[in-house]
């Protein structure tokens, strides 16, 4: 094992993330509220990075968790944290930009077509 292997984060592309979510995985959006309000996946659970202590109430540990942010950087950090807490978590590579590009729905806080800022 290389010295960098312990820093690797399990990740999936947008197509695989969409499949996992359709099969029952939780989609966890860790962006800030202003980003969420502008546009998010309709089936996502919103727990901003600053509120991760609330995660246990929102997502059960026995469930696969696909973590997403805008580009994939914040979510990678969250995946490391969740893995250390016993969650089966993966990062959505490319974040919400990749989700939208792969045909994933994006809605605003009112359920209308949203944007990824």
Point out the residues that are catalytic.
69
Which phi and psi angles does 55 have, rounded to 5°? -60, -40
Strand order in the sheet with 64-68: 11-12, 88-92, 64-68, 26-29, 45-46
> Using an 8 Å Cβ cutoff, are 36 and 19 in contact?
no
Q: 106: how many CB neighbours lie within 10 A of its CB?
A: 17
> Using an 8 Å Cβ cutoff, are 84 and 38 in contact?
no
- Rounded CA separation 61/65 (Å): 9
């Amino acid at each position: 094992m290389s010295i960098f292997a312990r820093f690797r984060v399990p990740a999936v592309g947008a197509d695989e993330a969409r499949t996992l979510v359709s099969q029952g995985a939780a989609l966890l959006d860790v962006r800030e509220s202003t980003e969420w309000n502008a546009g998010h996946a309709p089936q996502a659970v919103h727990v901003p990075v600053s509120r991760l202590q609330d995660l246990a109430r929102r997502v059960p540990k026995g469930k696969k968790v696909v973590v997403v942010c805008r580009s994939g950087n914040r979510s990678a950090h969250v995946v490391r944290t969740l893995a250390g807490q016993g969650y089966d978590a993966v990062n959505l590579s490319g974040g919400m930009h990749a989700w939208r590009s792969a045909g994933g729905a994006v809605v605003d806080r009112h359920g209308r077509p949203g944007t990824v800022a």
